[in-house]
Chain A
Amino acid sequence: MNETLKVDRRDAKLALAHIYVAFIALALGGLAGLLQTLVRSGKFTLPANISYYTILTTHGVLLGLVLTTFFIIGFQFAAVSRTAGTFSDRVRFWGWIGFWLMTIGTAMTAFFILIGEASVLYTFYAPLQAHPGFYLGLTLVVVGSWISGFAIFAHYARWKKEHPGQVSPLLTFMAVVNMVLWLVCSLGVAATVLIQLLPWSLGLVDRINVLVSRTLFWYFGHPLVYFWLLPAYMVWYAIIPKIIGGKIFSDSLARLSFILFLFFSIPVGFHHQLMEPGIDPFWKYVQVVLTFMVAIPSLMTAFAMFATFEMYGRSKGATGLFGWLRKLPWGDARFFAPFVGMLFFIPAGAGGLVNASHQLNQVVHNTIWVTGHFHLTLATTVVLTFFGAAYWLIPHLSGRVMTKAMNRLAIIQTIVWVVGMTFMSGSMHFAGLLGAPRRSAFSTYGNSPQALEWIPYQIAQAVGGTILFIGIILVLVIVTNLAFFAPKGETEFPVGEVAETAERTPLAMENWKLLIGITVALILIAYTIPFIDMIQNAPPGSKGYKLW
């Protein structure tokens, strides 16, 4: 690939618009997170009667749904434009439509949360009933993301037509897999919002089937986390090798791991519902088995990354078992931040297997252990990789360069994040093992001696949360500098090349009928019978409640 390839100015504007919204969400959602840890320390109460749960809903929606979706779609637009060529005017037009729908939807959702009409958390479990505007706003976000997905598909289809018999660029292929995954899984949340929640909150129907709604939500909720993770893997597989000066270990294995994610990340929602009535334990186990299968592509990824690092180090003359570690560019924030993210994925992944195991899940379910877990996966692995990507992506798009001082600040930012997260997530894991619940304001549960044991950990969470907030301020300084103030110049959009020793990629990997067919078959196997059971044996539905 040609190294001077630049993302077209017009496509860059589209990508940047998404990234700006993402970082605004980070600023506001991060502030909410800081306030939560302070409240839970027991030393601080929110002013002006603001509810802890309003802040918690804000935090979850802005960071879990807005920051991620906007950054991912912006990054993927840039990556597809860079590797499969400049968008047509039509594709770009639909990209903007998607952007505005998502932005209007976000504003609407945020408005109803902040006026206290939707303190239902980002999982919005019925029969807690939010204002219809909340559900409508979320619908616009999802529909906007679909339009952007179809814009990417259209661009990919054009590339395939213009390059018959050729394997598509790796980054474009990965973006397409991620958007297919997103489309297939978000059908579930769209179904519960449009068919169940919205009509019910508008008063068109009185009652709602709670278990069906939750099942549709978790059909979406687990692949959602892979929708966050796959762009980080795109950076690791296809971009990090170029940043360190090495090669992609294997193009076909990278694609295979993405295909396995597409297959196994959807039919696994029951592992979020293991403690739930109304679902036969046999079907829970079936989905637990499938959940474990989703660890396989992550094992492949770990191997590929370290193979790339070692091959590069040895090519630079490293000797001994671990000598290659010293050859890696530790002073380059574009490498350092994502690398730290990878390291954190080791305990994060192990914790994930704990959560997916029946009997262990019983110990940690809905405790703050789970919160600690996804602050390692999403809020460290994924987010540090996104930060690392922003350090070249934003200057590339804004026509600027990152100065040495900003790079140094970005290294410091990463270290601040590690320290803050070790305190916060570490103490969340420990407190969770002692039974401290997640999603709860400060409470001693009537001076229960067991609850009093959690307080030191909750203070540690507040210390960690404060350090992390400093980390957020640092990254916002860097991002603002890169977008508006850094010196003008050319920054490379790094795209890795495949090692000469790697084999050619089989074209069958882009047989979408086959890939989507297997995906749908696995979903039907995992869900059909328990879903029919749920509907046939449904109890009387539930009225809506507004208990906040």
Chain B
Amino acid sequence: MHIHKYEKIWLIFGIGSLFVFLTIIGVSAFAKGNQPPSCLTTIDPEKVDQTPPFNKPGLVKTGDNEYQLNMVASAFSYTPSQVEIPKGAKVTINVTTKDVIHGFEVVGTNINMMVEPGYVNSFTKTFDKAGEYTILCNEYCGAGHHMMTARIKVVDKQ
């Protein structure tokens, strides 16, 4: 099939750009580890309260400056609803739900996860800036969806 010369130039440029974009995404994801939250761990959504670590939700120190933050989402709240994190801490957030699908977004960061019944989702982030962060549910979960929120306080180390 004949393609006009100008169209060839246009398509080579266009398709070339797409491959550049894909390479950037791919290198960032596979070489630098910037993968989207894709945890494969499963959990019985009706036994969240008895299943560790979600039987004791909250911040747990796991190493030098390393923490795990285990959170439980349910209509229409997060447990715990307030968390203090020392500045500079590397935190792995694990989150699951007891009922329907929820979102887990920390406003102003790239922490953004779907929380689905039966699964744990997880993302690791270093909190370098002190201040207050809002956690909110960004996936519709029912009448109180827009009231579903929690806070993270990043505080300077004592």
Chain A residues packing against B (C-beta within 8 Å): 51-53, 119, 121, 125, 127-128, 210-211, 214, 250, 252-253, 256, 273-281, 284-285, 288-289, 292-293, 295-296, 299-300, 303, 307, 353, 357-359, 361-363, 365-367, 434-435, 437-443, 445-446, 448-451, 503, 506, 537-543, 545, 547-548
Does B142 interact with chain A (Cβ within 8 Å)? yes
Chain B residues near A52 (CB, 8 Å)? Answer: 146
A253→B139 contact, CB < 8 A: no
B100→A539 contact, CB < 8 A: no
Bits for B21-47, please: 1 = Cβ < 8 Å to A, else 0: 110011011100011111111111110
Q: Which B residues are in CB contact (< 8 Å) with A448? A: 107, 132, 134, 149, 151
Q: Is B113 an interface residue (CB 8 A)?
A: yes
- B136 touching A437 by the CB < 8 A rule? yes
CB of A296 within 8 A of CB of B118, answer: no
Residue of B nearest to A57 (CB): B140
**B: contact size bracket:** 35 or more
Contacting residues, chain A, for B79 (C-beta < 8 A): none
* Residues 96-142 (chain B) with a chain A CB within 8 angstroms: 99-101, 103, 105, 107-108, 110, 112-122, 132-134, 136-142
| Nearest A-chain residue to B11, judged by Cβ | A299
Hey, which bits of chain B sit against chain A, CB under 8 A? 1-4, 6-7, 10-11, 14-15, 18, 21-22, 25-26, 28-30, 34-46, 75-76, 99-101, 103, 105, 107-108, 110, 112-122, 132-134, 136-147, 149, 151
How many angstroms from the CA of A66 to the CA of B53 in the assembled complex?
45
Q: Which residue of B lies closest to A537 (CB)?
A: B42
Bound complex: CA of A215 vs CA of B139, how far in Å? Answer: 16
> In whole angstroms, how far apart are the Cα atoms of A503 and B1 in the complex?
8
Q: Which residue of B is nearest A123, CB measured?
A: B140
Q: Which residues of A contact B137 (CB under 8 A)?
A: 437
A274 to chain B: closest residue by CB: B36
Complex: how many Å from CA A448 to CA B132?
9
Q: Which residues of A contact B43 (CB under 8 A)?
A: 539
Chain B residue numbers with a CB within 8 Å of A278 are: 38-40, 42, 116, 118-119
* Assembled-state Cα–Cα distance A276/B25 (Å): 18
* CB-CB nearest in chain B for A454: B107
Measured between C-beta atoms, what is the minimum distance from A515 to chain B in Å?
15
**Given A307-B7, A545-B99: A440 and B22 within 8 A (CB)?**
no
A366 engages B42 (CB within 8 Å): no
The answer to whether B105 touches A545, judged by C-beta atoms less than 8 angstroms apart, is no
- Beyond A277-B40, A439-B140, A451-B134, whether A541 also contacts B145 by CB under 8 A is no
Q: What distance in Å separates the Cβ of B103 from its nearest Cβ neighbour in chain A?
A: 5
Inter-chain contacts of A285 with B (CB < 8 A)? 25-26, 29-30
Contact at A538–B146, with CB atoms within 8 Å? Answer: no
Residue from the list B6, B15, B36, B117 in contact with A275, Cβ < 8 A: B36
B41 to chain A, nearest CB (A): 8
With contacts A296-B14, A540-B45 known, is A358 near B119, CB below 8 A?
no
| Chain A residues whose CB sits within 8 angstroms of the CB of B119 once the complex forms | 211, 277-278, 539
Given A299-B11, A359-B110, A437:B138 Cβ within 8 A = yes
A450 touches B107 (CB 8 A): yes
20 A-B residue pairs with Cβ-Cβ distance under 8 Å, sorted by A, are: A125-B100, A127-B99, A210-B101, A276-B114, A276-B116, A277-B41, A277-B122, A278-B38, A281-B35, A288-B22, A303-B6, A303-B7, A366-B139, A440-B138, A440-B145, A441-B145, A445-B149, A448-B107, A448-B132, A450-B107
CB distance from B155 to the nearest CB of A (A): 17
> Nearest Cβ distance between residue A416 and chain B, in whole angstroms?
30
Q: Are B105 and A307 in contact (CB under 8 A)?
A: no
Task: From A119, A276, A281, A366, give the contact of B138 (CB < 8 A).
Answer: A366
> Which of B22, B38, B46, B139 is within 8 Å of A540, CB to CB?
B46
C-alpha spacing A434/B108, complex, angstroms:
6
Q: Shortest CB–CB separation between residue B62 and chain A, in angstroms?
A: 21
Shortest CB distance B14–A (Å): 4
Contacts of A438 in B (CB 8 A): 138
A contact residues around B44 at 8 Å (CB): 539-540
| Contact flag A280-B38 (CB < 8 Å), given A127-B99, A363-B112 | yes
Determine if A443 and B42 form an interchain contact, defined as CB atoms under 8 angstroms apart. no
Contact of B118 with A538 in the complex, beta carbons under 8 Å: yes
Residues of A within 8 A of B151 (CB): 446, 448
A78 to B140, CA, bound (A): 39
CA distance A307 to B6 in the complex (A): 10
By the criterion CB–CB under 8 Å, are A537 and B112 in contact?
Answer: no
Determine which of A211, A256, A295, A545 lies in contact with B142 in the assembled complex, contact meaning CB atoms within 8 Å: A545
Residues of chain A with a CB closer than 8 A to B110's CB: 359, 362-363
A284 to B36, CA, bound (A): 9
Q: Which chain B positions have C-beta within 8 A of A358? A: 25, 28-29, 34-36
What is the distance, in angstroms, from B3's C-beta to the closest C-beta of chain A? 7
Measured between beta carbons, the chain A residues less than 8 angstroms from B103 are: 366, 437
Bound Cα distance A285, B18 (Å): 14
A441 neighbours in B (Cβ, 8 Å): 145-146
List of 3 A-B pairs having minimum Cβ-Cβ separation, nearest first: A547-B142, A539-B118, A277-B119
Q: Are A547 and B15 in contact (CB under 8 A)?
A: no
Interfacial chain A residues near B116, Cβ < 8 Å: 210-211, 214, 276-278
A residues less than 8 Å from B112 (CB atoms): 275, 362-363, 365-366
The residue of chain B having its C-beta at the shortest distance from the C-beta of A51 within the complex is B143
Cα–Cα, bound, A406→B57 (Å): 64
B11 touching A253, Cβ below 8 Å: no
Known: A296-B11, A358-B29. 14 other contacts (CB 8 A): A53-B145, A127-B101, A128-B101, A252-B1, A276-B37, A280-B38, A292-B21, A299-B11, A353-B18, A435-B108, A440-B146, A446-B151, A547-B100, A547-B144
Flag if B139 contacts A357 (CB, 8 Å): no
List chain A residues, Cβ under 8 A from B30.
Answer: 285
Q: Is the CB of A281 within 8 A of B114?
A: no
In this complex, what residue of A is CB-closest to B46? Answer: A540
Q: Tell me the smallest distance from the CB of A272 to a CB of chain B, in Å.
A: 10
> CA separation between A362 and B114, bound complex, in Å?
11
